[in-house]
């Protein structure tokens, strides 16, 4: 088992021990490598100024496997194990700007300039995607979608959009071609095939090759934290609310990257990211893919996992209501073996789940609704993109027949309205026996008593839930 983290940075091999592995990547780049092009602003993964490109090969993947933008401010160096990373400092070649940089300069896409490296890296990630698909142009909407994880306080967005459209893809050399060699391929495969364990004075990091090893390690100390993308844990660490000291990473367990569909049932492993899942589900269940489009940024979705969003047990998580509505089950492996728990029984209290010491969520499974089902997912937040929900609602309805006068089955789930993601079980039963929307609304309001917080008041959340509930039935023609 290795005692060093191994990764490539701008084409150069790096080995680091426990002390530097505990640093956030943005700090490592700036203070250890003097790569100051990467900026730190929010330290929360919100503004995108710290964006870098990361490629993680040697796992089952889809077309999204490439150099992808991630937030370096909330990524531990230890999480780079087995990766190839490129920063803005390495885009220029032999004194000539990368085509993305050239376009930003030419189109005046920079004002104060502090956020500019992040925009450049996000756009370069889009260029890589375009080159991979052999597409010839970038349009304004694609640029806007790509840049939802980047904020500019000078509000210079139009120049940046113009720059994206102005990029000449014929002049772009692939980052993968420049920085990912056959030698690197062989070395990173060897790295992926070996477990790693680091023990430092204030930080320990363990990445085994099997779930059995992971479970045994978890049993040694209840303070050990399992990390996925650290899109939440990295934030609270940076804000000094907790300190990440004992880490278990599952990134070397190949089977956890699988996402499959058989006989209408989807199985997704614990390491499947939001980006990978969206790519997989977009043709099978477009409604879910569209819902994934309206939360988090590309940088977050490229590392954050669906299972992490569930296991985090946040009452305002975006995927729990959707998966509740789909009757999803949580696949768990622990000291007592394997078990499956309905997601509706997985959340016990605020940030508390059915997991016991040594348990690991290995995946999620659910059945794709049949054509007789009508499914909708809704989210309300202060900003359209990259914002935490005030309320989210998911409805999965099956009619008895085409007349749409009687409900055979219905599941209604919401986030942001209780200490846990919530199913409106009484309202569901009411509607199956008495299809009256106005009376059902009264049942709905009686089932939850939300708190007021910085995102919404209790009364406003009641209004939102009712409006989204009525919107669903309006959209399905009732």
In a domain, 404, yes or no: yes
Q: What is the CATH number of the domain that holds 370?
A: 3.30.465.10
Complete edge-to-edge strand list for the sheet that includes strand 360-367: 259-262, 265-269, 360-367, 329-334, 337-342
Q: pLDDT digit string (tens) for 187-237?
A: 999 999 999 999 999 999 999 999 999 999 999 999 999 999 999 999 999
User: Cβ of 63: how many Cβ atoms within 10 Å?
Assistant: 10
User: Cβ of 142: how many Cβ atoms within 10 Å?
Assistant: 16
User: Cβ of 453: how many Cβ atoms within 10 Å?
Assistant: 12
Q: What's the DSSP call for residue 168? A: -
**Cα–Cα distance between 248 and 226 in angstroms, integer?**
5
In a domain, 451, yes or no: yes
In a domain, 345, yes or no: yes
- Write down the pLDDT at residue 387: 85
Exposed/middle/buried for 287, CB within 10 Å: 0-12, 13-18, 19+?
middle
**Which residues, at least 6 apart from 260, have a Cβ–Cβ distance to it below 8 Å?**
266, 267, 268
- pLDDT of 70 > 70? The answer is yes
In a domain, 242, yes or no: no
In a domain, 323, yes or no: yes
In a domain, 230, yes or no: no
- Write down the pLDDT at residue 22: 96
In a domain, 21, yes or no: no
Exposed/middle/buried for 449, CB within 10 Å: 0-12, 13-18, 19+?
exposed
In a domain, 350, yes or no: yes
In contact, 248 and 217? CB cutoff 8 Å: yes
Q: Which one is predicted more confidently, 406 or 360?
A: 360
H/E/C letters for each residue in 406-466? CEEEEEEEEECCCCCCEECHHHHHHHHHCCCHHHHHHHHHHCCCCCCCCCCCHHHHHHHHH
Average pLDDT rounded to a whole number, residues 286-311: 94
- pLDDT of 307 > 70? The answer is yes
**Cα–Cα distance between 67 and 86 in angstroms, integer?**
8
- Write down the pLDDT at residue 60: 61
- Phi/psi at 393 (nearest 5 deg)? -140, 140
3-state class of 220 per DSSP? Answer: coil
Least confident of 60-69, 127-136, 159-168, 459-468: 60-69
Q: pLDDT digit string (tens) for 315-372?
A: 999 999 999 999 999 999 999 999 999 999 999 999 999 999 999 999 999 999 998 8
Number of separate domains in the chain? 1
Domain of residue 274, residue span: 258-475
């Amino acid at each position: 088992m290795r005692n060093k983290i191994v990764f490539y940075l701008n084409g150069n091999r790096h080995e680091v021990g426990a002390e530097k592995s505990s640093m956030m990547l943005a700090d490592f780049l700036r203070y250890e490598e003097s790569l100051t092009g990467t900026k730190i602003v929010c330290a929360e993964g919100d503004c995108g100024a710290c964006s870098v490109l990361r490629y993680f090969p040697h796992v089952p993947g889809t077309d999204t496997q490439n150099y992808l933008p991630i937030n370096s401010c909330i990524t531990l160096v230890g999480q780079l194990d087995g990766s190839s990373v490129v920063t803005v400092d390495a885009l220029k070649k032999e004194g000539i700007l990368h085509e993305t940089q050239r376009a930003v300069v030419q189109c005046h896409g920079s004002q104060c300039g502090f956020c500019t490296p992040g925009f450049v890296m996000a756009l370069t990630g889009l260029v890589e995607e375009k080159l991979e698909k052999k597409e010839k142009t970038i349009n304004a909407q694609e640029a806007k979608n790509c840049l939802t994880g980047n904020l500019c306080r000078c509000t210079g967005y139009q120049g940046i959009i113009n720059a994206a459209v102005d990029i000449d893809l014929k002049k772009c050399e692939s980052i993968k071609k420049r920085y990912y060699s056959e030698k690197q391929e062989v070395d990173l495969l060897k790295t992926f095939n070996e477990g790693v364990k680091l023990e430092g004075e204030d930080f320990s990091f363990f990445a085994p090759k099997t779930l059995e090893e992971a479970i045994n390690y978890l049993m040694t100390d209840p303070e050990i934290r399992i990390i996925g993308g650290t899109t939440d844990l990295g934030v609270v660490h940076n804000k000094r609310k907790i300190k990440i000291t004992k880490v278990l990473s599952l990134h070397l367990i190949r089977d956890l990257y699988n996402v499959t569909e058989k006989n209408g049932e989807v199985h997704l492993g614990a390491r499947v990211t939001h980006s990978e899942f969206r790519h997989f589900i977009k043709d099978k269940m477009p409604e879910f893919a569209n819902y994934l489009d309206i939360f988090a940024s590309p940088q977050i979705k490229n590392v954050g996992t669906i299972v992490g969003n569930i296991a985090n047990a946040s009452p305002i998580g975006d995927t729990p209501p959707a998966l509740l509505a789909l009757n999803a089950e949580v696949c768990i492996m622990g000291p007592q073996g394997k078990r499956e728990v309905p997601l509706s029984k997985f959340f016990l209290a605020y940030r508390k789940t059915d997991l016991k010491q040594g348990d690991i969520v290995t995946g999620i499974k659910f059945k794709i609704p049949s054509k007789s089902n009508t499914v909708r997912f809704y989210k309300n937040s202060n900003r359209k993109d990259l914002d935490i929900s005030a309320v989210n609602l998911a409805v999965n309805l099956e009619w008895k027949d085409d007349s749409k006068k009687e409900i055979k089955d219905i599941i209604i789930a919401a986030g942001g309205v209780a200490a846990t993601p919530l199913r409106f079980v009484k309202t569901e039963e009411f509607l199956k026996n008495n299809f009256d929307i106005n009376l059902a609304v009264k049942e709905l309001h009686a089932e939850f008593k939300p708190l007021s917080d910085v995102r919404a008041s209790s009364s406003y959340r009641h209004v939102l839930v009712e409006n989204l509930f009525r919107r669903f039935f309006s959209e399905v023609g009732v």
